[in-house]
């Protein structure tokens, strides 16, 4: 049996229910993994609230690290006893152990802790596709990254610095801005301090940035478009402030023939080979000390509701993990 956090209806953090679930043997293409640590992400909030509806009841969580306990038929990249980490569908990571598809479960190198593995997979793989699989970004380019002191943001700041990319961050306090700067942002704007779009323009000598990476959504969408240089790319990859309202595509032409995309990580990692290659790139960055994983908060699995309250209330910095 494995203690597991589930929801039976969509709503607030109070909807979590802790229950013991029997963990069976893995079938073809599956593994059973005993978790050591579990990562939290904003997609978990979207699924719990119903913004991303799920068939209920359902276990929650998309990211974890642990030890492989059993391997099903056809799985060749993992064996019993291997350290492993993943970001993957279907949800179900908020548990002590689970059976799941093996394709997106990745061998976790020695030198990376279980907590780091749990805290980095979804966020780090997101940064990998943002910088390498979405639109060409080269050394010397300038990008704008919202929520730069969050779990994805702190990885992005370091990733950009490691590749000679100028990252302008935004955050909600001077303290969070300093954290982003300490992790490699070239500049960070406290968006509560006034016209952040004008400040982006000032930092780019009026030109605007080549790429905006925006997981905030509704509150920053218009300003993000206004921060782009002509022919720039807007990557909208989250909705922390709520979904972007219906949008007139003609505005993209009016603002300088801009490009707009709404990617998801799970499209990028759907193929086993792609997922494993992206994970290796991420692991190499961490092992080379180009990227360190900032774990700002730790909660017990039983306190998952408190963890969601902190995440949703923007009271967190870096990554948040559940300790198993």
Instruction: Please classify residue 168 by burial: count the beta carbons closer than 10 Å to its beta carbon, then call 0-12 exposed, 13-18 middle and 19+ buried.
Output: buried
Pick the CATH number of 2-122+269-323 from 3.90.1170.40, 3.20.20.210, 1.20.1070.10, 3.90.180.10: 3.90.180.10
Beta bridge partners of 30: 101
**Cβ-contact 98, 32 below 8 angstroms:** yes
Range list for CATH 3.40.50.720 in the chain: 135-262
Q: Does the pLDDT value for residue 70 go beyond 90?
A: yes
Strands (E), the chain: 2-7, 16-21, 30-39, 58-59, 63-71, 83-87, 97-101, 105-107, 142-145, 166-171, 187-190, 209-214, 228-236, 259-261, 295-300, 319-323
CATH of region 135-262: 3.40.50.720
pLDDT at 95: 98
Q: Does the pLDDT value for residue 2 go beyond 90?
A: yes
**Residue partners of 271: CB distance under 8 A and separation at least 6:** none
Based on its alpha-carbon atoms, the radius of gyration of the chain, rounded to whole angstroms, reads 20
Measure CA 249 to chain center.
Answer: 27
Q: What is the pTM for the complete model shown?
A: 0.93
Dihedral pair phi/psi, residue 182, rounded to 5°: -65, -25
Residues 132-164: tens digit of each pLDDT: 999 999 999 999 999 999 889 999 999 999 999
Residues 96-121: tens digit of each pLDDT: 999 999 999 999 999 999 999 999 99
Cα–Cα distance for residue pair 275/271, rounded to 1 Å: 6
Residues 169-197: tens digit of each pLDDT: 999 999 999 999 999 999 999 999 889 99
Give, to the nearest 10 degrees, the angle between helix 304-312 and helix 42-49.
Answer: 100
Cα–Cα distance for residue pair 41/54, rounded to 1 Å: 16
């Amino acid at each position: 049996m494995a203690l597991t956090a589930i929801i039976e209806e969509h709503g607030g953090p109070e909807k979590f229910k802790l229950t013991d679930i029997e963990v069976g043997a893995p079938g073809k293409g599956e593994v059973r993994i005993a978790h050591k640590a579990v990562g939290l992400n904003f997609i978990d909030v979207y699924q719990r609230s119903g913004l991303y509806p799920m068939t209920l009841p359902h276990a929650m969580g998309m990211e974890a690290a642990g030890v492989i306990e059993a391997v099903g038929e056809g799985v060749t990249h993992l064996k019993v006893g291997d350290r492993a980490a993943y970001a993957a569908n279907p949800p179900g990571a908020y548990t002590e152990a689970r059976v799941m598809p093996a394709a997106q479960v990745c061998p976790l190198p020695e030198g990376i802790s279980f907590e780091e593995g749990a805290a980095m997979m979804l966020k780090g793989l997101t940064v990998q596709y943002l910088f390498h699989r979405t639109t060409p970004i080269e050394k010397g380019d300038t990008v704008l990254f919202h929520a730069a002191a969050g779990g994805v943001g702190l990885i992005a700041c370091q990733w950009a610095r490691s590749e000679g990319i100028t990252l302008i961050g935004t955050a909600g306090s001077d303290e969070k801005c300093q954290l982003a700067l300490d992790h490699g942002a070239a500049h960070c704007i406290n968006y509560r301090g006034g016209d952040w779009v004008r400040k982006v323009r000032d930092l780019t000598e009026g030109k605007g940035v080549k790429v905006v990476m925006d997981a905030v959504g509704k509150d920053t969408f218009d300003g993000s478009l206004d921060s782009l240089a002509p022919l720039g790319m807007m990557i909208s990859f989250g909705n922390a402030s709520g979904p972007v309202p219906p949008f007139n595509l003609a505005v993209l032409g009016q603002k300088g023939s801009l490009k707009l995309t709404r990617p998801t990580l799970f499209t990028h990692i759907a193929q086993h080979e792609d997922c494993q290659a992206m994970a290796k790139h991420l692991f190499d960055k961490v092992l080379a000390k180009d990227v360190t994983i900032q774990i700002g908060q730790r909660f017990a699995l039983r306190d998952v509701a408190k963890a969601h309250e902190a995440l949703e209330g923007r009271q967190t910095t870096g990554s948040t993990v559940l300790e198993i």
